[in-house]
Amino acid sequence: MNDFLELVVGATATGCIYGLVALSYLLITRPTGVINFAVGEWSTLAAFGGFLLLSRLEWPYPLGMLLVVTMLLLIGWLTERFTVRPLVERGAPPLAPILALLGMLVVFREFASLVFGADPQPVPPAFGFGRLELGPVAGSYQSFFIIAVAAAVFAAAWMFFERTLAGKSFEAVAIDRRAAALMGINLRRVTSLAFAASAGVAALAGLLVAPNVSAHYLMGLPLAIQGFTALVIGGVGRVEGALLGGLILAFAEQFTVRYAPVPPGLAMGVPLVLLIVFLLVRPTGLLLPREART
Amino acid sequence: MKSLLGMTAVAVVLSAVAFMLGSYQTDIYRKLLLWTTLALSYNFLFGIAGQVAFSHFTFYGIGAYAILILLFQVGLPLPLAILAGIALCVVLALVVAIPATRLEGFYLALATLAFAQLFIVVLNEGGTVTGAGGGLANYRLPDVFGVRVTGPWYTVVIVVLLLSTFATLWRLDRSWFGRACRAVRDNPEAAQAMGVNVARTKIIAYTITSAMAGVAGMVYAFVDNTVNPPIFGLQNSFLLLFMVIVGGSGRHAGAIIGAALLYLMPFLLSPLIGHHHALVFGVVMVAVVLFQPKGLIGVWDALVARRKLVP
């Protein structure tokens, strides 16, 4: 039983990471329709930022975390400004920004390997390597920290979309770009903000997952695929969907590894099979977007 | 007739080159020809039929593994193994394409991305059939009618593969089918209204090009005489996409230029920047999408157009 509960805590933490990556996709996809595979690479950059500030320079964790997230907000904003906006303003086909961002994925990844080398680098967890026991529920400090941060981020994102005017303007752009522009919503600002926020969320995911996987220049793509799978499972329409998808994916993955009689290598195929099944059977995901209110 | 003569001339020249190279250059030359073959068929799928699929390089791998397993584990003779390998590629392509064409836009890319990753997982877990992480090695091409095809003569086989792929794609592109593919790419609703069966066109385009990649993979299997999972990873699927975009998507000449440029670039760059040529790939890719959406062939077209204006 204890073993089971520990697995639940671990899977929840992993699911929160996937959920954050999924949210990172969603923040861009929802208002712009662009799928940005470089979110995984943003997480990589954040993990290396964590290595530099927290492991090398031994900054206090909150300060390091703050600077890393700020840096990534800036990188996200710059990415949009210089690779996406010129294409959108030229009226390029919708595929063009996606391809440009795929190119940026390679640029970010190779930049990381150029600067930090090909070896994995350690990133410390927020509260050291301890174990927390709350009655029968037990897990590492980092697992609980991940869950707490993810809960805060998702609560903030939900509040933003449901309760603020700026959030409503995002939603309006998602429902109908043209109509939103005619209503006086600044599409440029929404897009810039979306990219910056997406990179910020990706940065948190990278920083949180780094103590488990180490900062490595190839860590981005698996994270990007898992995050994307979570997004497809949950549905691109709703913030809660990203978290739900992440949790479903992580539980399916970890329970297969733990309990199913298949070799661990094959269990790596679980997210891929889930992705294919959901794409074919329910491409809209589990949660449907709200209908536009008339 | 004229084009047949031209093709023969190109075949003779490309084959003649094979007899003048040392072993290291032969290796580079063979892979250049194979990459060009792949880029041409991927160009048809991505550039002409407009399907963003990441599975093309996977079918290259499926072809390579299939021929080896069919030859040395099932024990089929070579011609039968080739036919069975092609049949396998066609069946797998249909399995992917029939449901995937219902997906809109970029979702096809994701389904094929998952398929490509799944292939690697299966290779790694395939035990003795796929040789797991170490792959398959220690084999050689069976004799064909008692003749051992080796050295430059095997390069001639690759030249024949390249030119027959090119000729097939050229004919397809000029047929009603090529026009249907372009119509489906540019405006599926309009194509449907003109009587083109959109789903069937997509499925056929995907299946034909995937089978072509499979055949190229079969030829590749005897180039290095070893296959293993890392060769068929996602990196190369991305590289293939970059080749077509940098060269100019939708144009055969573009695919050839892109493949040659991106394949040869690391050899030219590595004395200067070591192993970081992938960074240059990324930068070139972004620059092309931003500044030259028609690719390098678009630059060439512009130059030709300007020459024509100035008498």
Q: Is A104 near chain B, with CB under 8 Å?
A: yes
Domain that holds residue A48: 2-281
Concatenating the DSSP letter of every residue in B159-221 gives HHHHHHHHHHHHHHHHSHHHHHHHHHHH-HHHHHHTT--HHHHHHHHHHHHHHHHHHHHHHHT
User: Quick one: B191 and B49 in the same domain?
Assistant: yes
Q: What is the pLDDT of residues A169-185, one digit of tens each?
A: 888 887 777 888 888 88
Closest residue, chain B, to A263 (C-alpha): B125
Q: Is residue A189 part of a domain?
A: yes
Mean pLDDT of B228-253: 88
pLDDT digits (tens, 9 = 90+) for A112-158: 888 888 888 888 887 777 777 777 777 788 888 899 999 999 999 99
d(CA B23, CA A248): 53
A264 touching chain B per CB within 8 A: no
Q: Render pLDDT for B191-201 as a digit per residue (tens, 0 to 9).
A: 888 888 888 99
Integer Cα distance of A68 and A56 in angstroms = 14
Whether chain B has a CB inside 8 Å of the CB on A66: the answer is no
Cβ of A109 within 8 Å of Cβ of B278? The answer is yes
Judge whether A260 lies within some domain.
yes
Q: What is the mean pLDDT of residues A37-58?
A: 91
Is residue A288 in a domain? no
Residues B266 and B222 in one domain: no
Identify whether A12 is part of a domain.
yes
Phi-psi region of A58 (alpha: psi -120 to 50; beta: other; left: phi over 0): left
Question: At which of B230, B264, B294 does a domain end?
Answer: B230
Taking CB atoms and an 8 Å cutoff, what residues of chain B touch A109? Answer: 278, 282
What is the least distance, in Å, from the CA of B200 to any CA of chain A? Answer: 17
Report ipTM (2 d.p.).
0.82
Asked whether residue B223 falls in the same domain as residue B248, the answer is no
Average pLDDT value for residue range A237-261: 87
Is the model more confident about A95 or about A17? A17
CA distance A195 to A39: 10
Residue in A with minimal Cα distance to B242: A103
Domain count, chain B: 2
Residue B282 and residue B151 share a domain: no
Residue A292 has pLDDT above 60, yes or no: no
Q: Tally A–B CB contacts below 8 A.
A: 100
Q: Which of A266, A233, A205, A232 has the alpha carbon at shortest distance from A43?
A: A205
Contact with chain B for residue A260, Cβ under 8 A: no
Residue B224, classed as helix, strand or coil, is coil
Question: How large a percentage of chain B has pLDDT more than 70?
Answer: 97
Q: Quick one: B226 and B238 in the same domain?
A: no
Instruction: For residues B226 and B240, state if they share a domain.
Output: no
What are the percentages of helix, strand and coil residues in chain B, rounded to 5? 80, 0, 20
| Amino acid letter, residue B82 | I
| Domain residue limits at B113 | 2-230
Q: What is the Cα–Cα distance from B151 to B280, expressed in whole angstroms?
A: 33
| Structural domain total, chain A | 1
Summarize the confidence of residues B159-167 as an average pLDDT: 92
| pLDDT higher than 70, residue A6 | yes
| Domain-located, residue A68 | yes
SS (H, E, C) chain A: CHHHHHHHHHHHHHHHHHHHHHHHHHHHHHHHCCCCCCHHHHHHHHHHHHHHHHHHCCCCHHHHHHHHHHHHHHHHHHHHHHHHHHHHHHCCCCHHHHHHHHHHHHHHHHHHHHHHCCCCECCCCCCCCCEEEECCEEEEHHHHHHHHHHHHHHHHHHHHHHHCHHHHHHHHHHHCHHHHHHCCCCHHHHHHHHHHHHHHHHHHHHHHHHHHHCECCCCHHHHHHHHHHHHHHHCCCCHHHHHHHHHHHHHHHHHHHHHCCCCHHHHCCHHHHHHHHHHHHCCCCCCCCCCCCC
Where a domain ends, among B230, B252, B287?
B230
Task: Report the residue from A98, A106, A266 with minimal CB separation from B282.
Answer: A106
Same domain assignment for residues B154 and B257: no
Residues of chain A contacting B58 with CB distance shorter than 8 Å: none
A135 CB within 8 Å of a chain B CB: no
- Per residue in A56-75, pLDDT (tens digit) is 888 888 899 999 999 999 99
Q: Which two tokens stand for residue A254?
A: 């970890």
Do B149 and B286 have their domain in common? no
Question: B-chain residues within 8 Å CB-CB of A102?
Answer: 238, 241, 285
* B173 and B115 part of one domain: yes
Q: Torsion angle of alpha carbons B124, B130, B135, B137, nearest 10°?
A: 170
Q: Residues A2-6: contacts with CB within 8 Å, 24+ apart?
A: A2/A136, A2/A138, A5/A136, A5/A137, A5/A138, A6/A138, A6/A139
B70: tokens are: 């069919």
> Measured at the alpha carbon of residue A177, what is the angle toward residues A205 and A101, in degrees to the nearest 5?
40
The encoded tokens of residue A122 equal: 């350690």
B225: which DSSP letter?
S
Indicate the residue of B104, B107, B114 with minimum beta-carbon distance to A272.
B114
- Where does the pLDDT of residue B164 fall: very low under 50, low under 70, confident under 90, or very high at 90 and above? very high
Distance CA A271, CA A260 (A): 15
pTM confidence score: 0.88
Q: In which residue are the tokens 């090119």 written?
A: B166
Whether residue B137 sits in one domain with residue B71: yes
DSSP notation for B75-106: ---HHHHHHHHHHHHHHHHHHHHHHHTTS-TT
**Residues in chain B within 8 Å Cβ distance of A266:** 121, 125
Residues with Cβ within 8 Å of B136's Cβ and at least 6 positions away in sequence, in order, are B65, B68, B72, B130, B226, B227, B228
Last residue of a domain, one of B200, B230, B260: B230
B50 and B146 in a common domain = yes
Could you tell me if B219 and B266 lie in one domain?
Answer: no
Going by the DSSP 8-state scheme, the letter that residue B227 receives in this structure is: B
Look at B279 and A114 and tell me if their CB atoms are within 8 Å. Answer: yes
